Structure 1
Amino acid sequence: MTQPERVCVGAIAGAFGVQGEVRLKSFCAEPEDIVGYAPLYTEDGARQFDVTLTRGLKNGLGVRLSGVASKEEADALRGVTLWADRDKLPSLPDDEFYHADLIGLTVVDTGGTKIGTVRAVHNHGAGDILEIFAPGRKQALLLPFTKAIVPTVDLAAQRIVADPPEDL
């Protein structure tokens, strides 16, 4: 049986209180939506959790995960990413993408010359940035994921057309 396709929807930031509650960082556009995508799985699929929202917190959510009953159990999960079955997630408009769909895509310039491959998507608060592995470069190329710099994302063709600034 093949593993269902999953998308990373959050990460556990550690224990909250002493009753097994955890602080959860949701990667969803509406943070509370993560509860509706349960059960959530660890990246390797070895554990699954039902999720109950207990409170909103600064920079996260307070939640109870099934099977986690103590502060020690909650602390042991710090840094664990949580994954939802893709078919539970909503469809996106044409100009929005799940980060998981962008990773691994080939990036070409507007003339069709290969630039590299998307290795990761980062967001430090000012918008998404594509990290592109480009053979022959010592460092990854970082491109702002904006319409001006990335005019075309073609998931069917598994490629992105980018128009990077001259200084890159």
Structure 2
Amino acid sequence: MSGNLIVIGRIQRAIGLHGECAIEVFGSTFENLEIPAEILIGVRESETRSIVVNKIEYRPKCIVCSFSGIDDRESVDQIRGQFLFVEKAKLPSLDDDQYYHFELEGMKVYSDTNAFIGVVDNVYNFPTVDSLEIRRSNGDLIMVPLTNDSVLKIDSELRKITVNPDFLEELL
């Protein structure tokens, strides 16, 4: 099943006594789940099983979930540290100007004069803004916020991102 699953989160710890748990969320896919949602859970992509998300609660310091069959602290402890996955085919479609993080990873990054900058290594979902981690050809990493000011164009067919050169001057 390699490559068909997207990691959307990880079980952090039990919250309370009735099987609720804090979730570390990766990207914005988690917030698009329609509850109840059948997803997959496991320590790695090749070892998953189905689980149903019954509730998602956004609290000030964490996201709290409850799952079918997980109804006490001990049950949460058994799945603690495991990853939450969804199948790519089951992801809701996005608007033309929206992208899932995994779609951006591996894209080549250029300036508006077509000078090669690097390749998107990772996309981070920071509290204030998503950011592209770009690996330069010399191995250095730079972070570019995923904003209209810094990213001029994303061409998914060419797998190419064009970045504002004025913004790059500050980073390079």
TM-score range, shorter chain: 0.7 to 0.9
Deviation at 1:4, TM superposition (A): 6.1
Structure 2 unmatched runs, 5+:
none
RMSD of the TM alignment (CA)? 2.6
**TM-score, reference length from structure 2:** 0.79
Change (3 A) 1:34 1:103: farther
Match of 2:45 in 1: 44
Match of 2:106 in 1: 104
More deviation in 97-106 or 23-32? Answer: 23-32
**TM-score, reference length from structure 1:** 0.81
Which residue identity does 1:167 align to in structure 2? E
Change (3 A) 1:32 1:163: closer
Which residue identity does 2:23 align to in structure 1? L
More deviation in 4-13 or 97-106? Answer: 4-13
What is the rounded CA distance, in whole Å, between the counterparts of 2:74 and 2:94 in structure 1?
Answer: 38
| Residue of 60, 64, 70 corresponding to 2:63 | 60
SS for the counterpart of 1:31 is helix
Deviation at 1:20, TM superposition (A): 3.9
| Residue of 81, 84, 87 corresponding to 1:85 | 87
What is the rounded CA distance, in whole Å, between the counterparts of 1:57 and 1:152 in structure 2?
Answer: 32
Aligned residues: 165
Instruction: Describe how 1:25-36 pairs up with structure 2 within 5 A.
Output: 25-26=24-25, 27-28=27-28, 31=31, 33=33, 35-36=35-36
Deviation at 1:71, TM superposition (A): 2.6
What is the rounded CA distance, in whole Å, between the counterparts of 1:29 and 1:129 in structure 2?
Answer: 16
Say if 1:53 and 1:61, in contact at 8 Å, map to a contact too: no
What is the rounded CA distance, in whole Å, between the counterparts of 2:163 and 2:129 in structure 1?
Answer: 16
Which residue identity does 2:52 align to in structure 1? V
Higher fraction of strand: 2
Say if 1:21 and 1:69, in contact at 8 Å, map to a contact too: yes
Structure 1 unmatched runs, 5+:
none
